[in-house]
Amino acid sequence: MSDVEQVSSVFDTILVLDFGSQYSHLITRRLREFNVYAEMLPCTQKISELGWKPKGVILSGGPYSVYAEDAPHVDMDVFKLDVPILGICYGMQELAWINGKQVARGEKREYGPATLKVEDASSPLFEGMDHSRVWMSHGDKLHGLPTGYKVIATSDNSPFCGITHEEKPIFGIQFHPEVTHSTQGKTLLKNFAVNICKANQNWTMENFIDTEIKRIRELVGPTAEVIGAVSGGVDSTVAAKLMTEAIGERFHAILVDNGVLRLNEAANVKKTLGEGLKINLTVVDAADEFLDKLKGVTDPEKKRKIIGNTFIHVFEREAAKIQPKSGEEIEFLLQGTLYPDVIESISFKGPSQTIKTHHNVGGLLEDMKLKLIEPLRELFKDEVRHLGELLGISHELVWRHPFPGPGIAIRVLGEVTREQVEIARKADFIYIEEIRKAGLYNKISQAFACLLPVKSVGVMGDQRTYEQVIALRAIETTDFMTADWFPFEHDFLKRVASRIVNEVDGVARVTYDITSKPPATVEWE
Ligand code: XMP
C-alpha cells in the first residue's frame, strides 16, 4: 500500500488535481486548516491507477489555455468516480471545454480583486457567503454556458463567475478561493468539502500521531532497526521523536558535529534530544575532519559539496558502528521530508514535467542499501510545528529559525578556519540573544551573523585596530523564495553592534544588510 493509500484509508480525502497554478498547493493547505485531509496530484493522474477513492475532486487553476494544442486535460474517468467536483479558474474552463467548448480569450486579462455577486443563494457552494471580494487571475474566460450548466454567481467582468451542473454536484468558479485575498474563500472551500462532499473533519495532529505511530510500527515490524540524522532543527527533531514514540530504542539518531554548527549546539542537542526527549542519540565529533577538508576552500558551492560528501562519509561510518541490541541489521533510514518537498517533485509543471529529487541527504540511500521512512511527508511546516508541540518538544525548538546544512561555513565568507568560525558563532549568539530579549524572534523568519573577509580600521581605547567586519541579516518571508529585510529600531541595532564589537575579539565593525530577496539571496554565500 502506498503512503497516500494508507493515509486516505483513515482520513476522508479530497483529491486536488494540479494544472500548474502557483496557488495549487494553497488549496490543499486551506482544506487542512478546517481539518479535511487533501492530497495534491498532477492533473495527468490516471484515475484507474489511484488506488483509493476521494470524497471529492478539485481541479486547480493553471497557466494554460484549454483550447491550446498542448493543454493538459483531466482523465475523463474522474467523472465516473461519481463524487462532487469543483473546477477553479482553469479547472472551470476545463469543465466548460469538455461540455461544449465555451472558452475563449477575454478582451483583457483580469488580475486582482472583483466583487462576487451570488445569483443563486440556494446553491450549497455559497452558503453563508454574501457579496464578497474575490481574487481573479485569468486571461481566458467562458463566453457561454457549458451544456447542462447554469449560472450561480457573476462579477462585473465575468457573467459566468460561478456555474453548477443542473443535476450533478459539479461546480466551476472563475476566481481563486484558496488565496487569502478572496475574503470568504475558505468558507466556499469548506462548503464544498464538508457540506457537499461530506468529508469528515478528522485531520488533526492528535489523530495523525496515532495513525502514524501505528503505520510506522507496521512498516518497521517487531524487530527491525531504524537510523536517522538529527540536526537540532524542528523537522529532524519531530521526526526523531515520532520514531522514538513508535519504536523506542530501535530508533538510532546521529548528530554529526561538523564543526560549523551554532555555538554550543552539539551539547544543547545532546541535552534536549537525548536527555529531555529520551531519543536514543549518538553525537559524533567530526569537527576536525570537516575543517581539514575545508582548508583553503573559498568557493561557496565547493564548501557545500565538501560538507555534503563528508557528512555522508561520517554518517555511514558511524552507522556501521551501531550495534543494535536486537542483533538485527539496520534496515531503514529516517528522513524529515515535508509535503512541500513532495509537492515540488510531483506537481504539474507543464508539458515537460520537472521532477526534482528531494533527498535531504542525497547519496546515503544508494550506498547504505537502506529503505526510506518519511513520517512527515504528508505535512506542511506549520503542521510539523503543531505536531512537535503535541509530542512535548519545547516551544523554543519548535519555532526555531531554519539553519542551513552547510552551517556557519557559508556564513564565514572566504576560507573557513576554526578561528573564523568561532568569531562568527559568538557574534551570531549575541545577535540572536538580543533578538530574543527584544521579543522579536518569532516576528523574524530567519536571522544570523556573517563574518566578512575584509579588514577595517577602528579605534578602541587609544589603540588603532584593524579587524574584520560582521554583517547582520534578518528577514521576513513566508516561503523563503522572496524575502524582505526586517526593520529593526535603530536603538536595537546600536545595542547589538556595540555588544559584538566589545565582546567578540577580531571584530571592529558591524553592518546591517538591507537587501531584499531578490535580488540578494538570504544567505551571503
Ligand atoms: P537562499 O540563500 O537560497 O536561502 O535565499 C533560502 C533558505 O535556504 C537556506 N539555505 C540552505 N539550506 N543547505 C540548506 O540546508 C544549503 O546549502 C542552503 N543554502 C541556503 C537558507 O538558510 C534559507 O533559509
Q: Is the peptide bond before 124 cis (omega within 30 degrees of 0)?
A: no
Residue 522 included in any domain: no
Cα-to-centroid distance, 481 and ligand 1 (Å): 10
* Last residue of one domain, picked from the residues 399, 431, 460: 399
> What would the pLDDT profile of 197-252 be if each residue is shown by its tens digit?
999 999 999 999 999 999 999 999 999 999 999 999 999 999 999 999 999 999 99
Q: Output the known binding site.
A: 231-237
Cα-to-centroid distance, 523 and ligand 1 (Å): 6
Residues with a catalytic annotation lie at 89, 176, 178
Q: What type of residue sits at position 436? A: R
Asked whether residue 507 falls in the same domain as residue 370, the answer is: no
Asked whether residue 256 falls in the same domain as residue 188, the answer is: no
pTM of the model: 0.88
* Last residue of one domain, picked from the residues 128, 162, 196: 196
Asked whether residue 363 falls in the same domain as residue 241, the answer is: yes
Residue 160 included in any domain: yes
Asked whether residue 373 falls in the same domain as residue 462, the answer is: no
Asked whether residue 507 falls in the same domain as residue 458, the answer is: yes
- All 3 cell numbers of residue 317? 561510518
- 384-412 average pLDDT score: 97
Asked whether residue 391 falls in the same domain as residue 422, the answer is: no
Ligand 1 atom 22: residue of nearest CA? 404
**Domain holding 55: CATH number?**
3.40.50.880
pLDDT at residue 333 tops 90:
yes
Atom from ligand 1 closest to the CA of residue 480? 6
Residue 435 included in any domain: yes
Atom from ligand 1 closest to the CA of residue 523? 2
Residue 251 included in any domain: yes
pLDDT at residue 350 tops 60:
no
Cα-to-centroid distance, 248 and ligand 1 (Å): 32
Ligand 1 pocket: which residues have CB below 6 Å?
304, 402, 404-406, 446, 480, 517, 521-523
Asked whether residue 365 falls in the same domain as residue 469, the answer is: no
| Backbone phi, psi, residue 514, to 5° | -115, 45
Asked whether residue 39 falls in the same domain as residue 149, the answer is: yes
Please provide the DSSP assignment of 284-332 as one string: EE-HHHHHHHHTT---HHHHHHHHHHHHHHHHHHHHHH---TT-PPEEE
Cα-to-centroid distance, 425 and ligand 1 (Å): 18
Residue 525 included in any domain: no
Asked whether residue 16 falls in the same domain as residue 165, the answer is: yes
**Domain holding 506: CATH number?**
3.30.300.10
* Last residue of one domain, picked from the residues 196, 226, 257: 196
Distance (Å, whole) CA 185 – CA 93: 19
- Ligand 1 pocket: which of 522, 524, 525 to mutate (most atoms within 8 A of CB): 522
Residue 412 included in any domain: no
- 337-353 average pLDDT score: 72
What is the total count of domains within the chain? Answer: 3
Asked whether residue 370 falls in the same domain as residue 445, the answer is: no
Cα-to-centroid distance, 421 and ligand 1 (Å): 18
SS (H, E, C) 102-142: CEEEEEEEEEEEEECEECCCCCHHHCCCCCCEEEEEEEEEE
Q: What is the pLDDT of residue 364?
A: 66
**Domain holding 343: CATH number?**
3.40.50.620
- 281-287 average pLDDT score: 97
Q: Output the known binding site for ATP.
A: 231-237
> What would the pLDDT profile of 466-477 be if each residue is shown by its tens digit?
999 999 999 999
Ligand 1 atom 23: residue of nearest CA? 522
Across the chain, mean pLDDT equals 93
Q: What is the pLDDT of residue 349?
A: 65
Ligand 1 atom 16: residue of nearest CA? 404
Q: Compute the half-sphere exposure of residue 87: CA atoms within 13 Å on the CB side of its CA.
A: 30
Ligand 1 atom 24: residue of nearest CA? 402
Domain membership of residue 308 as a residue range: 205-399
- 329-357 average pLDDT score: 73
Asked whether residue 360 falls in the same domain as residue 475, the answer is: no
Residue 407 included in any domain: no
Asked whether residue 109 falls in the same domain as residue 178, the answer is: yes
Residue 2 included in any domain: no
